[in-house]
Structure 1
Amino acid sequence: MLGVLAAVLGLLLFSMIKSDRVYEKINSIEAKLSGEESSNFKSQISNETRKETPRTSLGAKRREGVLKHGQDARATSARDEGDWLVWALGAEAETLNPVTSKDLYGYYICWRNIFEGLMEYDSDTLKLVPKLAKNYEVTDGGLTITFTLRDDIYFSDGLPVTAEDVKFTYDTIRDPKVDAAKWAQYYMDVKTVEILDPKTIRFRLANVYFKMLDYISFVDIGILPKHIYQYKEGMEFNNRRSEPVGSGPYVFEKWNVGREVVLARNERYWGEKPCLKKLVFRFITNQLAVLQAFKTGDVDFMIAEPDQFAEMCEDKNFTSRHKCLSVWNPNVGYGYMGWNADTAFFEDRRVRLAMTMLVDREMICKYLLKGLGEVPADPFYIKGPLHDPNLKPWPCDVVKAKVLLDEAGWRDTDGDGVREKDGVKFRFKFMHVAGRSLHEQLAKHLRDQCAKAGIQAVADPFEWSVFLTRLLDRKFDAVTLAWFTDVVEDPYEVFHSSQRLNRGSNHVGFVNKEADEIMEKARRVMDANERAVLYKRIARILHEEQPITYIYTRPTLRFIDPRFENVKAHNIGLDWLEWWVEKGRQKY
């Protein structure tokens, strides 16, 4: 999934004694509320034909997942229609164009609400199941994939979804003048796309790719209506930011710039309509203001920070009136510090390793994240099959870091307390999103730790839109951010050397020939177990090279207004399309 970035925050450091108590309390809460989670990460491509699934609002049968801190156990056979869901987002979306979007905020607004793919992930099994497609057939050893579309699918303007729209979506992504490098690299192996009839389309591949079914079914993007989005020049398409049109259960109503995006229920929706009449995505950049808005009822759904979650979970008055959820799923990703390898500071792996050893990640997870985070050693989901439990994170070791810096030629030769090399002082800028308390705390921690080793790290905060532009243009020395991983993981997008170009997602400019070759080979391996062996090799290369420092991985933390019923934590996360509110409790 997009990469998506975002993306993720915290407040001032509690005292050590108070934090220990909070840490112990959270461990106790988590132990009591933990449940088994299942997931299936096997490849979906094989020589077989998939049959049509029954038409439902969710596209597949659901089973109840694990829900912590307020699990809904009520029957949902009778669901009332009406009411709104007001969702607090930490920044304004850059665009509502799913092809050119590069942040998580636009993804939250559009994905599954406005746009739908030919296939979708089942929320619990994590297997691909038909959505707009009636069925699909994989032949020629995985080199030919044919989709047959449903006869009853329509865009929100009433026109049918056809194979022409599917091909248009593909052609748009592959157009070099369209700002879609993030997505285009997944379609490099598509050789031809042939429309067989208005409801049938065939993709022929030059090579097999274990995730190709995901991408040619446009799971994370959705199908664009050609009659709405057709364009003459790529820039014309790139500039289309608002008024999205798709086939999903909600339609775009308005975008009050600087305040909110409002979606209304699609009354023409081809599937079963959701109960909630509107989804409102309200932009609130200050996390304290978000919590206050939630407490006063101005928003119904918010992403909580670990310190907020720990504090509120100890407040019986709060927990008795709100749903508090802590959920692990394959999309949780990781928070990191990234070192731009194209700068003189971080071109040497020994320096990058030294930076990792200067950061006290155990302290960050225990105190800043209130015991809710874990320090990962690789980029893969910590509870998934690609994670290597034998690979241990580098320890915090200031003495060893100093030795590595000396070896790399960074020494304090003039006695001013700052290292230098070739006449350049080791004084770098650490870019982060302004107003994010966890980012600010990480900047302070890095500054203090670097000072112990003769390095000056200067905080460099930017408002989100400016931050994102500088990130994509790679105009930074070092950066902190979060990366949200896909259900089925492929590190190519983030770590292959080709992805440092054209505003790709290799933001730190990592280049390693051996890693490139392994990632390219892994894409051709259809067996998940064989692929896992290759990915463990990649994890060890990344461990030695340290292009980024993994700071934490943690569950998603959410606060939800209690009037919403049928709130379940699936293996893929929450599904607001299932939610409803009793007539007597409806607010809007």
Structure 2
Amino acid sequence: MSKLASIAFAALLACTVTPAVSQQLTYSWPANVGPLNPHLYAPNQMFAQASVYEPLVKYQVDGTMAPWLATAWTISEDGRTYDFTLRPDVSFSDGTPFNAAAVKANFDAILANRSRHDWLDLTRQIARTEVIGPLAFRLVLKAPHAPTLKELSLPRPFRFVSPAAMREGGTTAGGIREPSGTGPWRLVETRLGISDTFAANPTYWGGKPAFERLVVKVIPDPNTRAIALQTGEVDLVHGAAGQIPSEAFLRLRDQTPAFSAAVSTPLATRVLALNSARFPTDDRAVRLAINQAVDKDTLVRTVLDGLEPRADFLFAPTVPDADVGLAPHGFDRAAADRLLTEAGWVRGADGIRGKGGRPLSVELDFISTNAQQKAIAEVIQADLARVGIAVRLVGEEESSILGRQKDGRFGMIFGETWGPPYDPASFVSAMRAPSHADYQAQRGLPDKAEIDGAITAALSATDPTERKRLYARILTALHEAAVYLPISHAVAIEVHRSTITGVSFGATLNEIPFAAMRPAAPGAGR
């Protein structure tokens, strides 16, 4: 936070506004939520998709799978056939019944564009779907696929829109007529650049939300969002750290009785992907030196205010199948210097190294509206300059950064693992899809084909010991190639005004339990 913004924010702490109890819950997000097609990606925002559409099974905080739109399921002995019993008396928000025919219609629409979803291995493995009764649905796979239930629980694409909302071309060719799901909320208004409004679904099978309306205000700047929270323009911030500056979060948590705040357990890993197919990060010595030259402890303490623990590996050791006994590269600036010198990178008069007439200069791309990414990038730029690596910072809007991730136009680029239930299976599955930054970053590795083969084998392995062995092979190869710079383990934060209660974290980073929130008793927090 700038000094001026910090002074303004501190002044606002002394003049907190407490609005009256309302049937409207107001949240904020950097952009509009999009058309909310459950079977498509950007610009659709995942937290909003997950508020409107629901899965067959739901991932729980303890890592187990719970019944949701399916009340029960069985798996055949060969691991290929899943039979689901669907929940009775459920309808979409447009009144269309939810049944096995609706489930099959959605699967058919998704699989009609299978290539768009090929980052998710389940879409490759589905052989056919069948309606075996009004509330009985069968999913048949080509081969056993261990993460099937977890991948069915994801916010997209295996969620269900009303068949009446589908166009003749399905859900992707012509889009959808309206975002009609079975969830607790329905989108009723979008004002571009201003807000999106959701109304409580009065026929929701799980019980109508306590708030009548959920208004999501478009506030791109984290400092402005913090001030909006302080003045009562919004009721809460909730999501990945960086929704508001960490300084503002700590002030509200520690000094302001009108607010409550919390930090989740670690959910994902914040990383930089280093492009192995582009100069100069195509040199393993450069990638390894980058890992050794960044002082992550200082970065976490100063930029992240200690909210996120330091990360040494792509996945935390607590992630299933990810504790494979790797040794951290560690912070060692002298070792990074020696490594670059031994690899032939010579310092010039300006302190920047070069080889063969080409400077050791790397582009680092980040989302320009993400103040946290910008601050981290500046620290990394300074750390790498100390070992003779020049870093060019390029801040662009989110759509441009996504474009760079897809086509490999980056030297270093921000990314995160996806947290539960994606990690590790769904995340490593996507490493084989060219449209993902991980594929582009790994494309120059000489053993890329072998890594992809091990991923394919791990996803179909039903024996836990064999699956663990394959993940060890994958993660060891990526770690030794130094194709990632792990920074910290990402957490979610929430800060809410004391005028609301029932605020908690979801089981995943992308689901916010708005439906569990309710107005507090009159006078709370005054």
Common topology (TM > 0.5): yes
Structure 1 residues 583 and 401: CA distance shift in structure 2, 3 A: closer
Q: Identify which of 287, 291, 308 aligns with 2:226.
A: 291
- Partner Cα distance (2:396, 2:111) in 1: 32
Alpha carbons 1:495, 1:506 under 8 Å: kept: no
Structure 1 residues 494 and 421: CA distance shift in structure 2, 3 A: farther
- Partner Cα distance (2:401, 2:307) in 1: 27
Structure 1 residues 83 and 158: CA distance shift in structure 2, 3 A: same
> Offset of 1:361 from its aligned partner?
0.7
Structure 1 residues 521 and 180: CA distance shift in structure 2, 3 A: closer
- Partner Cα distance (1:212, 1:191) in 2: 13
Structure 1 residues 398 and 282: CA distance shift in structure 2, 3 A: same
Alpha carbons 1:340, 1:346 under 8 Å: kept: yes
Match of 1:96 in 2: 36
Structure 1 residues 349 and 443: CA distance shift in structure 2, 3 A: same
Q: Identify which of 113, 118, 121 aligns with 2:56.
A: 118
> Offset of 1:260 from its aligned partner?
1.5
Task: Report Cα offsets for 1:346-372 as digits up to 9, x if no partner.
Answer: 122222111111211111112212222
Matches within 5 A, 1:545-584: 545-569=481-505, 575-582=513-520, 584=522
Alpha carbons 2:314, 2:484 under 8 Å: kept: no
Matched, 1:128 2:61: no
Alpha carbons 1:11, 1:438 under 8 Å: kept: no
Give the aligned residue type for 1:404: L
Matched, 1:397 2:332: yes
Structure 1 residues 289 and 514: CA distance shift in structure 2, 3 A: same
Matches within 5 A, 1:474-513: 474-487=408-421, 489-491=423-425, 493-494=427-428, 497-499=431-433, 501-503=434-436, 506-510=439-443, 511=445, 512-513=448-449
Match of 1:7 in 2: none
Match of 2:165 in 1: 228
Match of 1:342 in 2: 277
| % identical aligned pairs | 23
- Partner Cα distance (1:216, 1:361) in 2: 36
- Partner Cα distance (2:234, 2:104) in 1: 39
> Offset of 1:95 from its aligned partner?
4.9
Q: Secondary structure at the match of 2:515?
A: helix
Greater RCO (Cα-Cα under 8 Å, separation 6 or more): 1
Alpha carbons 1:322, 1:559 under 8 Å: kept: yes
Q: Identify which of 140, 143, 151 aligns with 1:207.
A: 143
Of the structure 1 ranges 90-99 and 190-199, higher mean CA displacement relative to structure 2 is found in: 90-99
Say how many residue pairs are matched.
Answer: 497
Match of 1:540 in 2: 476
Match of 2:370 in 1: 436
- Partner Cα distance (2:116, 2:219) in 1: 27
- Partner Cα distance (2:185, 2:213) in 1: 8
Matched, 1:140 2:86: no
> Offset of 1:376 from its aligned partner?
1.8
Q: Identify which of 183, 187, 198 aligns with 2:123.
A: 187
Match of 2:7 in 1: none
Structure 1 residues 170 and 454: CA distance shift in structure 2, 3 A: same
Structure 1 residues 215 and 389: CA distance shift in structure 2, 3 A: closer
Task: Report Cα offsets for 1:439-474 as digits up to 9, x if no partner.
Answer: 222222222222222222111001223222332333
Structure 2 stretches of 5 or more lacking a match? 4-20, 238-242
Give the aligned residue type for 2:40: T
Q: Secondary structure at the match of 1:188?
A: helix
Matches within 5 A, 1:63-82: none
- Partner Cα distance (2:321, 2:82) in 1: 27
Give the aligned residue type for 1:115: Y
Matches within 5 A, 1:435-474: 435-474=369-408
- Partner Cα distance (2:178, 2:312) in 1: 42
> Offset of 1:289 from its aligned partner?
0.6
Q: Secondary structure at the match of 1:493?
A: helix
> Offset of 1:250 from its aligned partner?
1.0
- Partner Cα distance (2:351, 2:378) in 1: 19
Matches within 5 A, 1:54-65: none
Matched, 1:411 2:346: yes
Structure 1 residues 192 and 141: CA distance shift in structure 2, 3 A: same
Structure 1 residues 409 and 226: CA distance shift in structure 2, 3 A: farther
Alpha carbons 2:275, 2:411 under 8 Å: kept: yes
- Partner Cα distance (2:248, 2:325) in 1: 33
Alpha carbons 2:125, 2:142 under 8 Å: kept: yes
Structure 1 residues 277 and 356: CA distance shift in structure 2, 3 A: same
Match of 1:368 in 2: 303
Match of 1:74 in 2: none
Structure 1 stretches of 5 or more lacking a match? 1-9, 13-80
Structure 1 residues 452 and 219: CA distance shift in structure 2, 3 A: closer
Alpha carbons 1:172, 1:178 under 8 Å: kept: no
RMSD: 3.0
- Partner Cα distance (1:410, 1:230) in 2: 58
